[in-house]
Chains A and B, each alone.
Chain A
Amino acid sequence: MSTTTSEPRTDSVPEPAVGTEQGPGLAEPGALARLFAPIRSYLIACGLLSALSSGAGIVPYVAAAEIARVTLSTPSVSAAAVWTWVGIGAAGAGLWLVLMVQSSRLGHYADAAILHHLRVRIVRHLGALPLGWFRASGSGRVKRAMTGDLEEMHEVIAHALGQLVGAVTVIAVSGVYLFSVDVPMALVVLGVLGLMTVSYRVSMRSMAAHVNRLIAAEGRISAASVEYADGIQVVKAFGTGGRVLHRFDEAVNEYAEAFAAWVNEVRHSSAVTRLLGSEMAVLTAVTAAGVAFIAQGSLTGAELVAFLVVSVGLPASIIPAVSGAQAVRKGRMGAANIERLLARMPLPEPERSRTPDGHEVEFDHVSFSYDGTTCAVEDVSAVCPTGTVTAIVGPSGAGKTTLTSLLPRFYDVTGGAIRIGGVDIREIGSARLLASMSLVFQDVSLLRDSVAENIRIGRPGAGDEDVREAAIAAHIHDVIEALPQGYDTPLDAGGGGLSGGERQRLTIARAILSGAPIVVLDEATAALDPDSETAVQEALARLAVGKTVIVIAHRLHTIAGADQILVLDNGRLVERGRHDELLTRDGLYARMWMAQEGVTA
Chain B
Amino acid sequence: MIRRLYHLWPDPKLLARLWSLTVIQAVLQGLLLGLLVPILHAVVRQEPDIAAATPWLVLGGIGAVVYGLLAIVSDPVGYAAGGVLAAQLRKQLMRHVSTLPLGWFTAAHKARLARAVTADVGDAAHLAVVIGNPVITSTLLPATVVAIVFVADWRVAVLLCVIALVGSWTLRRAARVSAEAEIELERAAADVASRAIELGQVQPVLRAAGHAHGTPRMHAALDRHRDTYREGMDRARRPFFLYTGVVATGFVAVLALVAWLMVSERVEVATAVALLVLAARFLQPLGNLIELIGALRAMTNKITRIEEFLATPVLPVPAEPVRRIVDPHVELTGVTFTYPGGEAPALREVTIRCRAGTTTALVGPSGSGKTTVTRLVARFFDAEEGQVRIGGVDVRDLDPEVLLNDMAIIFQDVYLFDDTIENNLRLARPEATWDELREVARAARLDEVIERLPGGWNTRVGEAGAQLSGGERQRVAIARAMLKQARIVLVDEASSALDPENEAAITQAIANLGAGRDRTVIVIAHRPATLASADQVVSLDAGRVVETGTPAELLRTGGTFARISRQYERARHWRIGTVS
Contact = CB atoms under 8 A, between A and B. Distances in A.
B326 interface: no
Given A225-B114, A514-B208, A559-B575, A499 B367 contact: yes
Contact of A313 (B119, B284, B294, B480): B284
Interface stretch (B168-176, B212-220, B351-359, B437-445): B212-220
12 contacts: A68-B272, A86-B252, A93-B248, A115-B229, A116-B226, A127-B203, A229-B113, A248-B90, A252-B91, A267-B75, A270-B79, A549-B577
A524 B497 CA distance: 6
Interface residues of A, number: 195
B411 interface: yes
A528 B213 CA distance: 32
Tell me whether chain A's interface is mostly helix, strand or loop, or mixed.
helix
Considering the complex of A and B, which 7 residue pairs feature the smallest CB-CB distances, nearest first? A139-B200, A127-B212, A389-B577, A301-B44, A6-B294, A434-B208, A142-B200
A97 B245 contact: yes
B288 interface: yes
A22 B130 CA distance: 20
A559 B218 CA distance: 40
Residue of B48, B82, B297, B577 with most chain A CB atoms under a 10 A cut-off? B577
Residue of B57, B122, B133 with most chain A CB atoms under a 10 A cut-off? B122
A445 B292 contact: no
B571 A534 contact: yes
A312 B281 contact: yes
Given A6-B294, A127-B211, A530-B495, 14 more contacts: A82-B259, A82-B262, A90-B255, A116-B222, A221-B90, A222-B118, A228-B94, A263-B80, A268-B72, A312-B280, A312-B281, A430-B207, A531-B366, A599-B501
Contacts of B367: 499
Contact of B76 (A4, A127, A271): A271
B273 A16 contact: no
Contact of B229 (A112, A226, A305, A551): A112
B572 A600 contact: yes
B527 to A, nearest CB: 9
Residue of A229, A443, A600 with most chain B CB atoms under a 10 A cut-off? A229
B573 to A, nearest CB: 7
B157 to A, nearest CB: 17
A123 B496 contact: no
Contacts of A561: 575-578
Interface stretch (A35-43, A366-374, A537-545): A537-545
Interface in B251-302: 251-252, 255-256, 258-259, 262-263, 265, 269, 272-273, 276-277, 279-281, 284-285, 288, 291-295, 297-298
Interface string A58-91: 0011011101100110010101001101100110
Nearest to B219: A120
Contacts of B126: 15-17
A320 interface: yes
Nearest to A68: B273
Contact of B64 (A249, A284, A388): A284
B23 interface: no
Contacts of B348: none
Nearest to B368: A531
Interface residues of B, number: 167
Given A19-B119, A128-B212, A294-B50, A230 B110 contact: yes
Contacts of B291: 6, 8-9, 320
Residue of B48, B213, B576 with most chain A CB atoms under a 10 A cut-off? B576
B186 interface: yes
B71 interface: yes
Contacts of B223: 116
A20 B119 CA distance: 8
A448 B110 contact: no
Contacts of B209: 435, 457-460
B453 interface: no
Nearest to A120: B222
A245 interface: yes
A146 B206 CA distance: 18
A523 B280 CA distance: 77
Given A230-B464, A238-B428, A316 B259 contact: no
Contact of B262 (A71, A127, A229, A560): A71
Interface stretch (A274-282, A325-333, A567-575): A274-282
Interface string A235-267: 111111100110011001101100110011001
Given A123-B199, A233-B415, A448-B195, A531 B251 contact: no
A396 B201 contact: no
A596 B497 CA distance: 13
A345 to B, nearest CB: 16
A238 B182 CA distance: 45
B24 interface: no
A549 B445 CA distance: 37
Contact of A389 (B98, B210, B295, B576): B576
Contacts of A270: 75-76, 79
B427 interface: yes
Interface string B85-129: 011001100110110001001000110011001110011011100
A505 interface: no
Given A256-B86, A447-B202, A280 B97 contact: no
Interface in B37-93: 39-40, 43-46, 48, 50, 53, 57, 60-61, 64, 67-68, 71-72, 75-76, 79-80, 82-84, 86-87, 90-91
Given A8-B292, A79-B263, A598 B365 contact: no
Nearest to B110: A229
A13 B29 CA distance: 20
A510 B214 contact: no
B519 interface: no
B507 to A, nearest CB: 8
Contacts of A377: none
A440 B574 CA distance: 17
A234 B574 contact: no
Contact of B123 (A19, A304, A449, A596): A19
A438 B418 CA distance: 40
Interface in A445-477: 445-449, 457-460
B517 to A, nearest CB: 22
A141 B199 CA distance: 11
Interface stretch (A98-106, A178-186, A351-359, A580-588): A98-106
B500 A599 contact: yes
A411 interface: no
B134 interface: yes
